[in-house]
Amino acid sequence: MRVLFVLPDFNYLDFISDYSGFNHIGLAYLSACLKQENHDTKLLHLTKELPADELISLIKEINPDLICYTAFSNQFHYIKKVAPLIKKELNILTVCGGIHATVHPEDTINIDGIDMVCIGEGEKAIVELANKLEKKRDISKIKSLWVKKNNKIIKNEVNNLNQDLDSLPSPDMDLFDFRNLSGTKLGKLNVIATRGCPYQCGYCANHQLQRIYKNKGKYVRFRSVDKVIHEIKDIKEKYPGMNHLEFLDDCFCLNKTWIKDFIQKYKKEKINLPMIVNTRVDLLDDELLKELKSAGMRELCLGVETGNEEIREKILNKHISNAQIIKTFKLCKKYGFENRCYVMVGIPFENMGNALETVKLCSKIQPTYLHVSIFQPYPNTALYDLCLKNGFINKDINFQTYFDGVTVLNQNSITKGETVFAFTYFRIFVRLYERFRNKQIRRLLDKIFLNKKLHKPLMKLYPLAYALVFPMQAPYRLILKTSPKTARFLKKRLIMPLRRLKG
């Protein structure tokens, strides 16, 4: 059976003119499982919005028996637009999966052109679906699928969670044009060691996934260290030129016993690739950081979210103090780690004073890389429900990416204009607070940040202000326009040294 994956993977940042996408580990696992059962798989990796007629022509050339759509919430509008047109023109059976479909199945199954929705982890369901379609058997009772049949929707229960992740084949990286992906151009190799996150942050879908999988098995699961090491070695050998490794796990340092075993074997196998991981500040301590550094861990990605402890705890449901954040970032500096700090502005009930607290906290911890985003209430998260309840959004909103510079919230505590100003000027003010320790200058900076009348003229001056405060950042924007080999060379020899310069 020919199975076609359709993946909208758009990047709206105008300086990445030749964005070529990233590898989607979930699809790579689905493809590997299907190939293991002798099915053929193809991918239409859409890195720009194609007109429907062009997309239909591409699908005709492949001539699939089954189309599998997936998309994040911010790009799901494209699926809603093209799926009915594809169904009308080609009448091919379709299934839609991924995180949006999982947490918003009612919205997804009611789209014309979507025949089925896959809820949650889909390896078992997609293989059973392909096998039964090939044998012309009934597909209406496959677990984890919602199926349209005779003008009704059959809502099957979800499968039990796979407790043995090692039983899955290695992800099929050949599904992608791997050598030309944006991450690959910079030498990045992605891998995942765990599934699930035990925390219930209000802006994240994990609490919804935990609810879906209640009594369906242990939610947080680990692949064996040996399996992960073997996969890294295989991909490194297959794609020479990879110069660093990024773990896509929601939270990497959950199990210290697993981490210590991994570190020991990683060093023993002499893989020698610097690593990047996502984790939490309250999971890191002096001993663990020392061990991670010994294995070649280079960068830690840490969610700070806000500088206001009350908002972080009561609104975001993230129980981490500013003192913990400051201590962990100091420890990271002690052992020479780079750190990537994630913060948001425009959080429900936040005001500009709270946003300024976040600026000041970032100026104190001085992260290597600062990622600022505008809060987005993704569907069926706790904060999505909170925003609906308080009238900050309506059900028909178009979801944005975190980094689009657009807020969909209408709230009294912080206006849309203030939110966009805080987002736009955030890094500039962080740098100014880092540079100027004089109390009078800092009070002046406070007044400028909080003065709504100054925001509009300052927005017009932003390109000049950015160039003055960050004169050496512009070269990085040229990186992704080069060949993979040139991109890796420039990043290592030019961009990384420039980024480390202060002042």
pLDDT reported for residue 289: 96
Average pLDDT over residues 354-364: 99
Average pLDDT over residues 185-203: 92
Average pLDDT over residues 173-182: 86
pLDDT reported for residue 402: 52
CB atoms within 10 A of CB 227: 16
Going by their DSSP bridges, the two strands 221-222 and 194-195 should be labelled as antiparallel
pLDDT reported for residue 296: 92
pLDDT reported for residue 3: 99
Domain 187-470 is found in CATH 3.20.20.70: yes
pLDDT reported for residue 359: 99
* pLDDT value at 315 more than 70: yes
pLDDT reported for residue 502: 41
71 Cβ contact partners less than 8 Å away, ≥ 6 residues apart: 7, 8, 78, 79, 98, 100
* pLDDT value at 23 more than 50: yes
* Burial of 100 (C-beta count, 10 Å sphere; 0-12/13-18/19+): buried
What is the value of pTM for the model shown? 0.88
* pLDDT value at 202 more than 90: yes
Going by their DSSP bridges, the two strands 194-195 and 188-191 should be labelled as unpaired
Q: Quote the DSSP letter at residue 397.
A: P
Residues carrying CATH 3.20.20.70, the chain: 187-470
pLDDT reported for residue 503: 36
User: Percentage of the chain with pLDDT > 90?
Assistant: 78
Rg (the chain; Cα; Å): 23
Question: Which two structure tokens, joined as six digits, stand for 60?
Answer: 């005709």
Specify whether the CB–CB gap between 435 and 445 falls below 8 A: no
* Mean pLDDT, rounded, of the chain: 91
* pLDDT value at 196 more than 70: yes
Q: How confident is the model at residue 26 (pLDDT cuts 50, 70, 90)?
A: very high
Residues carrying CATH 3.40.50.280, the chain: 2-155
Q: How confident is the model at residue 15 (pLDDT cuts 50, 70, 90)?
A: very low
Q: How confident is the model at residue 369 (pLDDT cuts 50, 70, 90)?
A: very high
421 versus 178: the higher-pLDDT residue is 421
* pLDDT value at 17 more than 70: no
Average pLDDT over residues 245-260: 95
CATH architecture, range 2-155? 3-Layer(aba) Sandwich (3.40)
494 versus 127: the higher-pLDDT residue is 127
Encode pLDDT of 33-67 as tens digits.
999 999 999 999 998 899 999 999 999 999 999 99
Q: Quote the DSSP letter at residue 43.
A: E
Q: How confident is the model at residue 477 (pLDDT cuts 50, 70, 90)?
A: low
User: Percentage of the chain with pLDDT > 70?
Assistant: 91
DSSP bridge pairs for 42: 4
Average pLDDT over residues 146-165: 97
Going by their DSSP bridges, the two strands 66-70 and 116-118 should be labelled as unpaired
* pLDDT value at 363 more than 50: yes
DSSP bridge pairs for 343: 305, 372
Specify whether the CB–CB gap between 281 and 254 falls below 8 A: no
Average pLDDT over residues 381-393: 94
